[in-house]
Structure 1
Amino acid sequence: MATSMTLLFALFLSIISSSSSLFSHNNSLSGFRTSIIHRDSPQSPLYNPNSTVSDRIKAAKMRSLARHRRYFNSPDDLTAPVMYGRGEYLIQLSIGTPPIENYAIVDTGSDIIWLQCFPCEYCYPQMGPFYVSTQSSSYERIKCNTTECNAAIGACYGGDKCRYEVAYQDDAYTRGYISYETLTFRDTKNGESFPLYKIIFGCGVDNRDTPGVHEPGPPGLIGLNLGQLSFIRQISFDHFAHCFIPDDNKEATSPMTFGLSAIFEGARAPMKYFPGHDEYYLNLVGISVGDTSIQIPPGAFDDVKEDGQGGFMIDSGTTFTIIHSVVYKNILTEVSKQAFYDSVPDTTHAFDLCYDVKMSDIEFGTPDIKLHFFGGTDLVLKGINAWVDNGYGLVCLAMLSADKEYEYSILGNHQQQDIHVGYNLKERYLTFKPMDCTEL
């Protein structure tokens, strides 16, 4: 076991170092701070003022479950491992030279950057102006048989341009050319704008949004996982962090920091690396409700199998935490035993455990849920991190059961509210520090 862990560690470090040497185009930048916006915030271009709290909760549940399936690679579904779903958080950026302002999904579970490019063979209606690649002096298509094309798993069809295709499980897709472009961000701390040159991205000329969605969508996606062409790997930073403000705060935005601007405070939880999986996995060793340890089936969180079963990841794009079905049932049973209240049925049929109390009272009448990570770190879930108002006067446990066909677990963004989460890729650990994110 010790030998295998050492080999995995060495492989993890080699992957980190190899990407930095391949795509170190922006080494002069030491770090920056920006803001991200939740899709349901009134500040979001995706905000629907006619949507009720209950509507948003049910939609978030459906997105969470659909996204949960995206990570599961069955032998019959290897060509569509991911789901688009328009994401959970948006980042503001400018594209090209001269810069065109717009938004994109920012996602710790994705490994690619892609944007709709005009002129299109087909582009779905989007928020804001279209990026016109032919009008940008910094746009450049990447040629076939190059390191960059091979890293992007690009393909060549009778020409020297590197093409890509990403097909999503919700039948959305993007197709186009692997290219270079300048992306510009604004540092929200000092107000300065700065360009990031020669970012490798997919210039999508044939794109389909999630079927059934009729409103204009974001023009693309900024991936932040450990994939070789993700944003964080291309800008050669070993660190980033975010702090999600609570859902009920309609005015503030959530801070996100990169490079030396990222702070690492609080308890550390080591990452686990599994070959073929670029998501952020954590070494979860136990769960307790109050002072009672929850029974966990052997192997539930230990390893990720070839088909995607097992493991415990953290993800910005999943709203509600999804837990191995047996563990989830055990958590519900123990919370019910220890709660001071009698449970009531959820009128929205979204959750399995609800109480007819105010959100301000739930923390005092229900036990804390603690996630125990290797090394002694505990992440305590209570109040807004464990519960959610369903929009009809009930407060419900904001967790979902994994489908028995997809037995792996995800720590969702709802459980990360008012917790500063730092990602240290160099030393491969995350930090958790509860705080008021509006004061960061």
Structure 2
Amino acid sequence: MRAGTSPNSSSCSAWRSEAGPGVRCSCPRPRGGSANSISTTDVPVLPNAGDYTIGVSIGTPPQPLLLNLDTGSDLVWTQCQPCLSCFNQRFPLYDPSQSSTYSPLACSSKLCRALPLSACHAQCLYLYGYGDNSIAIGTLASEAFTFGSSNNVTVPNLGFGCGFLNGGLFNNESGIAGFGRGSLSLISQLGVGKFSYCFISYDDDDSKSSTLMLGSAADLNGSATAVRSTPFVLNPSQPTFYYLSLDGITVGTTRLPIPKSAFVLQRNGTGGVIIDSGTAITQLTTVAYKLVRSAFLSQVKPPVANATAEVFDLCFSLPSSPSAKVDVPKLIFHFEGADMDLPHENYMYQDSTVGLMCLAMFDSGDESSTIGNFQQQNMHVVYDLDNQKLSFAPARCDQL
């Protein structure tokens, strides 16, 4: 479809024709629903150049959106017509004038008061920023959102941002779906006690996708022996984020001598470790990263390559023979009560076209650490808000 025009077919048909063969869609009539029925639906999740997007629809009649699934922020927003400055996106801009259920929210509304930065000019205006310096500016409103690719459920009156001035690092998505812990987030507004995702690999072909599960549907299907759980840690200074208690890291057979204080959440709210679906590559606080880097440097046999060939800090030259086997040491994150034993594909990025294998990890440059989505590939991850814990298990994400 051409950006700036209203879709003339159902949003499900648009999904099938434009989002690619990985989206399974039988185009039923959307049925009315509420947060209580959201667990019956299937929300498609697709990789998108370092991010993962969910397919939803907005308005009456529904207009299709691709939104980044971001557990590191709260606001749900999409680009809107008329737009002063918008980045390119796959689907047409959402047009509130074509929806019978669009309604701006008052400045006195609870969601407007929850915005970190807002202004009142007849309507509630917001400015929302991100760690990568992307920004979104627009009007806070409410709308009907339709979830599901084959079993649609429509939830009315969800608060969202109608963005008319947006910029930053985006790649054809329509906006962002915040899944953080704050009241503005999609998960908070839906009122469900847990959700889960399972990210297919970055390099999987277009025929594959996975599913976001909400409410009672968000259960791990792995055997009890494969499931690991660790409690969330609350940070009153940064209430949006999902903090975890990371006790240490093992590379190969060596538990690294990282001081436990490196990962501790400080009383002033700094430091700590978060898990974030909206961050691509894991970032470790400097003292931890240096020890991890040094361990891989000493344990990986191929020669170190010129790091300028890739964005990563540490790369190795692959053997010229494609059949040559390269031994990669194990990487284990030791969370409180749960070891995350990562497959090597989740921390060693391999590019055979340039003959490089790189450690997919960065120095955060400060006291904080973030577990990114590259490290979460092919892992079913459950955010259990009712029981304040994160659970995870290895999975074939496209087969759940």
TM interval, short-chain normalised: 0.7 to 0.9
1:235 matched to which residue of 2?
190
Which of the residues 127, 131, 138 maps onto 2:101? 138
**1:253 and 2:209 equivalent?**
yes
2:250 matched to which residue of 1?
288
**1:208 and 2:171 equivalent?**
no
2:345 matched to which residue of 1?
384
Q: Is the 8 A contact 1:359 1:395 kept in 2?
A: no
Letter in 2 for 1:289: V
Residue 138 of structure 1: how far off its partner (Å)? 0.7
Letter in 1 for 2:311: A
**1:419 and 2:379 equivalent?**
yes
TM-score normalised to structure 1 length: 0.74
Relative to structure 2, which stretch is displaced further, 270-279 or 332-341? 332-341
Which aligned pairs between 1:297-312 and structure 2 lie closer than 5 A?
297-304=259-266, 306=268, 309-312=270-273
Structure 1 pair 147/380, CA: closer, same or farther in 2 (3 Å)? Answer: same
Letter in 1 for 2:92: P
1:176 match: secondary structure: strand
Structure 1 pair 30/418, CA: closer, same or farther in 2 (3 Å)? Answer: closer
1:195 matched to which residue of 2?
154
TM-score normalised to structure 2 length: 0.81
Structure 1 pair 380/154, CA: closer, same or farther in 2 (3 Å)? Answer: closer
Which of the residues 75, 86, 97 maps onto 1:112? 75
Any stretches of 5+ residues in structure 1 without a counterpart?
Answer: 1-23, 41-59, 61-87
The separation in 2 between residues aligned to 1:245 and 1:156, in whole angstroms, is 40
Cα RMSD for the two superposed structures: 2.6
The separation in 1 between residues aligned to 2:168 and 2:278, in whole angstroms, is 16
Q: Could you report, residue by residue, the CA deviation over 1:68-93 in whole angstroms, capped at 9, with x for unpaired residues? A: xxxxxxxxxxxxxxxxxxxx122212
Residue 353 of structure 1: how far off its partner (Å)? 3.9
The separation in 2 between residues aligned to 1:334 and 1:153, in whole angstroms, is 41
Structure 1 pair 260/156, CA: closer, same or farther in 2 (3 Å)? Answer: same
Q: Is the 8 A contact 1:26 1:197 kept in 2?
A: no
1:430 matched to which residue of 2?
390
Q: Is the 8 A contact 2:38 2:214 kept in 1?
A: no
1:180 matched to which residue of 2?
142
1:200 match: secondary structure: strand
Q: Could you report, residue by residue, the CA deviation over 1:195-252 in whole angstroms, capped at 9, with x for unpaired residues? A: 1111001122x313228x8xx8422211001111100111111111111112221131
1:409 matched to which residue of 2?
369
Structure 1 pair 141/428, CA: closer, same or farther in 2 (3 Å)? Answer: same
1:27 match: secondary structure: helix
Which aligned pairs between 1:113-128 and structure 2 lie closer than 5 A?
113-128=76-91
The separation in 1 between residues aligned to 2:385 and 2:118, in whole angstroms, is 30
Any stretches of 5+ residues in structure 2 without a counterpart?
Answer: 1-32
1:131 match: secondary structure: coil
The separation in 2 between residues aligned to 1:338 and 1:356, in whole angstroms, is 15
Relative to structure 2, which stretch is displaced further, 117-126 or 286-295? 117-126
Structure 1 pair 142/153, CA: closer, same or farther in 2 (3 Å)? Answer: farther
Q: Could you report, residue by residue, the CA deviation over 1:165-194 in whole angstroms, capped at 9, with x for unpaired residues? A: 22456664332322110111224xxx1222
Q: Percent identity?
A: 33
Q: Is the 8 A contact 2:78 2:174 kept in 1?
A: yes
**1:244 and 2:199 equivalent?**
yes
2:26 matched to which residue of 1?
none
2:327 matched to which residue of 1?
365
Q: Is the 8 A contact 2:305 2:315 kept in 1?
A: yes
Structure 1 pair 424/168, CA: closer, same or farther in 2 (3 Å)? Answer: closer
**1:374 and 2:336 equivalent?**
yes
The separation in 2 between residues aligned to 1:355 and 1:397, in whole angstroms, is 12
Letter in 1 for 2:159: I
Which of the residues 265, 269, 276 maps onto 1:315? 276
* Aligned residues between the structures: 358
Q: Could you report, residue by residue, the CA deviation over 1:354-375 in whole angstroms, capped at 9, with x for unpaired residues? A: 242489876x622211111112
Structure 1 pair 361/185, CA: closer, same or farther in 2 (3 Å)? Answer: farther
Which of the residues 90, 101, 106 maps onto 2:53? 90
Letter in 1 for 2:58: I
The separation in 2 between residues aligned to 1:374 and 1:31, in whole angstroms, is 32
Residue 124 of structure 1: how far off its partner (Å)? 4.3
Residue 119 of structure 1: how far off its partner (Å)? 2.8
Q: Is the 8 A contact 1:124 1:207 kept in 2?
A: no
